[in-house]
A and B are shown apart, each in its own frame.
Chain A
Amino acid sequence: MSTSSSLSFGSLMRRPETGSFLGLAAVFLFFTAFGGTNFASPTGAASWLNVAAQLGIVAIPIGLLMIAGELDISIGSIIPAGSMTCAIISGHFGLPIIVGVGAALALGAFIGLINGLLVIRTAVPSFIVTLGTLFAVAGMTLGFSVLVTGTTSVAIKVPEAKWLLGDFIGGIYQVTIFWWIAAVIFWTFFLHASRFGNWIFAMGGDKVSARNAGIPTDRVTIMLFVCSGMSAAFVGLSQAILYNSAQVSAGQSYIFNSIISVVVGGVLLTGGYGSVFGIVLGTLTFAVVSQGIYFTGFDANWASLIIGVLLLGAVLMNNTFRKMALSYAPKKAGK
């Protein structure tokens, strides 16, 4: 029998995160070289870890949806919607923060539920469905905010909740980093160790066969959309608590950034392949590039060029790695 746990070159090559690890190492070395000692210092690290944490919390459920063959771009407006909901309830109306947080999460879950139901009922591609909810939710957030508060920016002061959602550890590291770590542990278990994970991979591979094999594909799809909606709302409300205010338009960049992180993290655009660890690496890569540029003498606009090149490189590399993974066969020992 084979020793399948051995760390051979072959087994490394067929892991979805190998490419993203190389990418992260490359950008890290690049910015350490050009960004000087500041980039890798605790303060420098905080700048990109803080960005990575907020992005990472949404990127993982987005990645899982992509592995399952779906896409969710409505997070771009669920984030500000969660932010505003929390700020209006606990800031404008002064209700306890727990109510604001609960309402924001419930809203995220509700929008996710709508997304999921629309996708399974209409069979319209999830890109289009969530494009619709992206605009609908953006409009509603703006409309309600103006209606209720008369403004598009609401202040929220909740010192009692800071330690949980808006504080800086050691003065520089956002507590969100710990939420991200918790999310990574949870999703890693979910995708790679629980049977649900196998269902998600199977759904991304072939939805009809997965359903015929007895997987409740509709329920899994809805659940994934609910999770991405809630994660986005969570990021939104934690931003509101962190910055003591919420704006109606503060999430659109997350749409592309999360997809970039997921793809750079080795998730196949066509679904059926990827890993949580890879998504974490992809998120870190994105954060390192977008923040690392400020440590160099280069104009910050160049960061987009690097990210674009990384993304294209990742897509090409993912294809290569997938081919290698497919063709990999263990060498016969002896005989």
Chain B
Amino acid sequence: MAFDMGATILSLQGVNKSFGPIDVLHDINLEIRAGEVLCLLGDNGAGKSTVIRLLSGVHKPSSGTITMDGKPLNFASPREAADHGIATVHQFGGTFPLMSIGRSFFVGREPVRWVGPFKVYDRKTANDIAVKAVQNFGITRIEDGDRLVGGLSGGERQALAIARAVHFGARVLILDEPTAALGVKQATHVLRIVNEAKRRGLAVIFITHQVMHAMAVGDHFAVLIRGAIASDFKKGEKTREEITDLMAGGASMATLEAEIESNMAGHDA
């Protein structure tokens, strides 16, 4: 696959989203480029997941435009977004814990072969392709495509889900808190896979609450505060402390700590 590195794939212009009377997003402008990791940061409830739901076809914007390759985008369903190469990987990666690696990798796109007059699910091909795809992302521990997805570690499941998206031609990879439930080592694995996806020219949207994880892979950062983009900057333009403060909703960490301390003192009394 040939990707035009740096070309804008998705672009949001003046996007607003409200659910009935609740305004969730205000005037969002964002560019998502091939071969780049965009980190979407912000406090709980800031609207990060809502942004990606707009991009993945779950919701439609109340106003404003979203374009893909310059053309206005109007997905009726997540499936349609996936068909256009926008793949969303949810927190726990594989959602079919009781299915084998091969079977879950190919859900909805099962390879078949002819046995006499019958079309039969091609288990061997499915397993081989799935295992190879995960191993290409550096998870060499997975060798048996018959293993159940639920028996994999959280990081391995993320790897499987990302490998699946890439295998089926995703151009945009959306990862909503992929490292949230993972230990240090597993998280590192996932970050490495994010870098690998980026190296292959995918555009990655990466949501996290951990500054370290964001700084490890991000090329471009957007911080949401109460539904608006409070800051939009490139790698190296802000320090870790500045990013942390922004993520906490604008209040400086020092102020926050002082607040906690006075609260604690109040409880002790």
Interface residues, chain A, with chain B CB atoms under 8 Å away: 1-2, 4, 11, 14, 189, 192-195, 197-199, 201-202, 204-206, 209-215, 268, 272-273, 322, 325-330
Contact = CB atoms under 8 A, between A and B. Distances in A.
7 contacts: A4-B146, A11-B146, A193-B120, A194-B119, A201-B98, A214-B109, A326-B98
A99 to B, nearest CB: 31
Contacts, number: 95
A325 B146 CA distance: 11
Interface string B86-108: 00000000011111000110111
Nearest to A210: B107
A192 B96 CA distance: 16
* Top 7 closest pairs, chain A to chain B, by CB: A213-B108, A205-B96, A195-B110, A214-B108, A209-B95, A326-B150, A206-B95
B145 interface: yes
A268 B143 CA distance: 27
Interface residues of B, number: 31
Contact of A215 (B98, B107, B121, B151): B107
A195 B108 CA distance: 8
B34 interface: no
Contacts of B77: 212
A195 B79 contact: no
A204 B103 CA distance: 14
B151 A210 contact: no
Given A202-B104, A328-B147, A329-B147, 7 more contacts: A195-B119, A198-B106, A202-B99, A205-B99, A213-B82, A326-B97, A326-B98
Contacts of A14: 148
Contacts of A205: 95-99, 104
B96 A201 contact: yes
A51 B95 CA distance: 39
Given A11-B146, A205-B96, A206-B96, A198 B118 contact: no
Contacts of A210: 107-108
A247 B146 CA distance: 48
A contacts with B: majority SS: helix
B5 to A, nearest CB: 29
B169 interface: no
B143 A272 contact: no
Contact of A198 (B98, B119, B121, B148): B121
A248 B193 CA distance: 63
Interface string B59-102: 00000000000000000011100100000000000011111000
B96 to A, nearest CB: 4
B148 A328 contact: yes
B121 A197 contact: yes
B179 interface: no
B112 interface: yes
B151 A327 contact: yes
B127 interface: yes
Contact of A4 (B95, B97, B144): B144
A213 B107 contact: yes
A192 B109 CA distance: 16
A193 B118 contact: yes
A8 B151 CA distance: 18
